[in-house]
């Protein structure tokens, strides 16, 4: 039986420069999912600030949790149907600022808690939220957001959001900047052919991204290799990839956040992989028949009742 579902994987490694200087990893990432909505985020704390890891941590958590609850409202605010040009512009501005302000507020509160200046929590922020074919994409600073497009006959990696640097390549923009909202980019779109999303901080960006040529071909493998591993195993594989491959060329902190429409064959893949794949499925309503031999799974959909699925997949595993 062919099983398909959106799965999450992430890799996070402290940079060699930070190890040598005995400073903490300032990158953070976060993932949230609920009722068919998935949100991934990455944030890189400013290297010149001693407390920026707290800013990147709170920024990723806040934006993911906010978009889980407000996805429909934000997406609707960006729609243009029935609105004048001025109404479209104003609606989109307000929606963008609602995201920006909730994240900025959380960073400010954390700075007050730590009793440090707001700017000490300076950080970039990248995020993508999806619900069915609808997407919300946001970015301030460096780092890269890319997507895997699958037409059925071919696959293409496309950059959704490029890094924004200042006059010099090592200068970027942060959530704590006075003019941060002017550099806070948010857009929405519909797309049926996206089968993967990837966010990375500027560490992996140095190695896996080119401003003209786009994403390195190895990024395709980062999606495909997920299929035949458990989530825990693949997170370890990503960490080893960052440490042993990317870390040879980038001395910065390294973080990658991936959402992938993964597919396995329950008759062929290892039993531990199949078990991991279906572990969060508790109700038959979380299983959609695509065909007589293929099913789409969505463990984010919440139901009060749990069904006995102990032998549904052809082997008994639930207690």
Mind listing the pLDDT tens digit for each residue in 116-156?
Answer: 999 999 999 999 999 999 999 999 999 999 999 998 788 99
Give the total residue count for the chain.
319
Cβ(257)–Cβ(192) below 8 Å: no
Phi then psi for residue 40, to 5 deg, are -120, 150
Between 211 and 167, the more confident residue is 211
Range of the domain at 83: 2-297
> What three-state secondary structure class fits 247?
helix
User: What is the CATH classification number for the domain harbouring 125?
Assistant: 3.60.40.10
User: Residue 175's CB: how many other CB atoms inside 10 A?
Assistant: 29
Q: Is residue 317 a part of any domain in this protein?
A: no
What pLDDT was estimated at residue 167? 65
37-63 pLDDT, tens per residue?
999 999 999 988 989 999 999 999 999
Whose structure tokens read 């999912």? Answer: 33
Q: 198-231 pLDDT, tens per residue?
A: 999 999 999 999 999 999 998 999 999 888 899 9
* pTM score, whole prediction: 0.94
Average pLDDT, the chain: 93
Confidence category of residue 197, pLDDT binned at 50, 70, 90: very high
Let me know if residue 303 belongs to a domain: no
Mean pLDDT of the 187-193 span: 96
Please compute the mean of the pLDDT values over residues 83-97 and round it to a whole number.
95
Q: Is the pLDDT of residue 314 over 80?
A: no
Dihedral in degrees, nearest 10, Cα atoms 58, 169, 221, 140: 30
Q: Is 210 helix (H, G, I), strand (E, B) or coil?
A: strand
1, 294 contact by CB (below 8 A): yes
pLDDT of 309: 82
Q: Give, as one character, the DSSP assignment of residue 168.
A: S
In this structure, the strands spanning 134-140 and 144-150 are unpaired
Distance, CA of 244 to CA of 235 (rounded, Å): 14
Instruction: Judge whether residue 311 has pLDDT over 90.
Output: no
On whether residue 305 sits in a domain, the answer given is no
Q: Is residue 310 part of a domain?
A: no
Are 14 and 250 in contact, with CB atoms under 8 Å apart? no
CA distance from start to end of the chain: 23
Residue with tokens 């640097």: 165
In a domain, 306, yes or no: no
CA distances from 58 to 51, 68, 80, 106, 125 (A): 12, 16, 32, 7, 11
Domain-located, residue 91: yes
Mean pLDDT across 238-263: 95
The yes-or-no verdict on residue 169 having pLDDT over 70 is no
Residue linked to tokens 């929606």: 95
How many domains is the chain built from? 1
Residue 170 lies in a domain: yes
Residue 313 lies in a domain: no
Q: Comparing 153 with 16, which gets the higher pLDDT?
A: 16
Per-residue confidence band for 315, with pLDDT thresholds at 50, 70 and 90: low
Report strand pairing: 287-291 vs 209-210: unpaired
pLDDT on residue 305: 87
Sort strands 37-44 and 27-34 into parallel, antiparallel or unpaired.
antiparallel
């Amino acid at each position: 039986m062919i099983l398909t579902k959106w799965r999450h994987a992430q890799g996070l490694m402290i940079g060699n420069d930070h190890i040598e200087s005995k400073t903490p990893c300032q990158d953070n990432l976060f993932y949230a999912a609920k009722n068919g909505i998935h949100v991934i985020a990455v944030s890189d704390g400013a290297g010149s600030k001693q407390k920026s890891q707290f800013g990147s941590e709170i920024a990723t958590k806040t934006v993911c949790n906010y978009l889980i609850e407000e996805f429909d409202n934000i997406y609707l605010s960006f729609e243009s149907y029935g609105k004048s040009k001025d109404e479209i512009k104003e609606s989109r501005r307000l929606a963008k600022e609602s995201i920006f302000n909730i994240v900025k507020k959380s960073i400010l509160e954390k700075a007050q808690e730590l009793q440090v200046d707001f700017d000490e929590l300076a950080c970039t922020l990248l995020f993508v939220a999806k619900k069915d074919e609808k997407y919300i994409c946001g970015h301030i600073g460096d780092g890269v957001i890319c997507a895997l497009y699958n037409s059925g006959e071919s696959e293409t990696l496309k950059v959704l959001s490029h890094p924004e640097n200042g006059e010099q390549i090592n200068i970027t923009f942060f959530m704590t900047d006075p003019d941060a909202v002017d550099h806070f980019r948010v857009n929405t779109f519909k797309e049926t052919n996206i089968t993967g999303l990837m966010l990375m901080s500027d560490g992996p960006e140095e190695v896996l991204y080119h401003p003209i040529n786009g994403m390195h071909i190895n990024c395709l493998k980062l999606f495909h290799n997920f299929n035949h591993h458990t989530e825990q195993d693949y997170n370890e594989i990503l960490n080893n990839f960052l440490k042993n491959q990317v870390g040879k060329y980038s001395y910065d902190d390294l973080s990658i956040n991936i959402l992938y429409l993964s597919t396995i064959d329950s008759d062929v893949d290892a039993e531990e992989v199949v078990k991991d794949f279906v572990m969060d499925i508790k109700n038959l309503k979380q299983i959609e028949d695509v065909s007589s031999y293929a099913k789409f799974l969505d463990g984010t959909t919440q139901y009060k009742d749990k069904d006995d699925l102990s032998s549904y997949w052809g082997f008994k595993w639930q207690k």
